[in-house]
Amino acid sequence: MSLQSHLHELEQKHRNLDQAILQEMAHPSADDARVRELKKQKLLLKQKIERLRAETVSVH
Protein backbone atom coordinates (compact mmCIF):
# COMPACT_ATOMS: atom_id res chain seq x y z
CA MET A 1 0.00 0.00 0.00
CA SER A 2 1.38 3.37 -0.96
CA LEU A 3 1.76 6.13 1.57
CA GLN A 4 -0.92 8.20 -0.18
CA SER A 5 -3.47 5.38 -0.13
CA HIS A 6 -2.68 4.66 3.52
CA LEU A 7 -3.14 8.34 4.32
CA HIS A 8 -6.45 8.38 2.45
CA GLU A 9 -7.63 5.33 4.39
CA LEU A 10 -6.74 6.96 7.72
CA GLU A 11 -8.53 10.16 6.72
CA GLN A 12 -11.65 8.13 5.88
CA LYS A 13 -11.49 6.42 9.28
CA HIS A 14 -11.16 9.87 10.89
CA ARG A 15 -14.32 11.07 9.10
CA ASN A 16 -16.15 7.88 10.12
CA LEU A 17 -15.22 8.44 13.76
CA ASP A 18 -16.51 12.01 13.49
CA GLN A 19 -19.85 10.68 12.23
CA ALA A 20 -19.97 8.05 14.99
CA ILE A 21 -19.39 10.76 17.61
CA LEU A 22 -22.17 12.93 16.18
CA GLN A 23 -24.55 9.98 16.06
CA GLU A 24 -23.77 8.97 19.64
CA MET A 25 -24.21 12.53 20.90
CA ALA A 26 -27.55 12.87 19.06
CA HIS A 27 -29.12 10.21 21.29
CA PRO A 28 -30.89 11.53 24.38
CA SER A 29 -29.18 8.83 26.42
CA ALA A 30 -25.71 9.30 24.92
CA ASP A 31 -23.01 7.23 26.58
CA ASP A 32 -20.41 9.76 27.77
CA ALA A 33 -17.74 7.08 28.15
CA ARG A 34 -18.34 5.92 24.57
CA VAL A 35 -18.14 9.51 23.27
CA ARG A 36 -14.85 10.06 25.16
CA GLU A 37 -13.41 6.83 23.73
CA LEU A 38 -14.42 7.77 20.17
CA LYS A 39 -12.91 11.24 20.61
CA LYS A 40 -9.70 9.71 21.92
CA GLN A 41 -9.49 7.38 18.91
CA LYS A 42 -10.16 10.32 16.59
CA LEU A 43 -7.38 12.38 18.20
CA LEU A 44 -4.88 9.53 17.97
CA LEU A 45 -5.79 9.04 14.33
CA LYS A 46 -5.39 12.77 13.65
CA GLN A 47 -1.92 12.71 15.21
CA LYS A 48 -0.95 9.72 13.07
CA ILE A 49 -2.21 11.47 9.93
CA GLU A 50 -0.22 14.59 10.79
CA ARG A 51 2.95 12.52 11.35
CA LEU A 52 2.53 10.79 8.00
CA ARG A 53 1.95 14.11 6.23
CA ALA A 54 5.08 15.53 7.84
CA GLU A 55 7.07 12.47 6.73
CA THR A 56 5.72 12.87 3.20
CA VAL A 57 6.83 16.50 3.10
CA SER A 58 10.30 15.72 4.47
CA VAL A 59 10.81 12.93 1.93
CA HIS A 60 10.05 15.19 -1.04
Q: Is the pLDDT reported for residue 59 higher than 70?
A: no
**Could you tell me the pLDDT band of residue 1, with boundaries at 50, 70 and 90?**
confident
In tens, the pLDDT along 6-42 reads 999 999 999 999 999 999 999 999 999 999 999 999 9
Which residues have a Cβ under 8 Å from the Cβ of 56 and sit 6 or more positions away?
A: 3, 4, 7
For residues 42 and 18, is the Cβ–Cβ distance under 8 A? Answer: yes
pTM for this predicted structure: 0.85
Residue 2: what pLDDT? Answer: 87
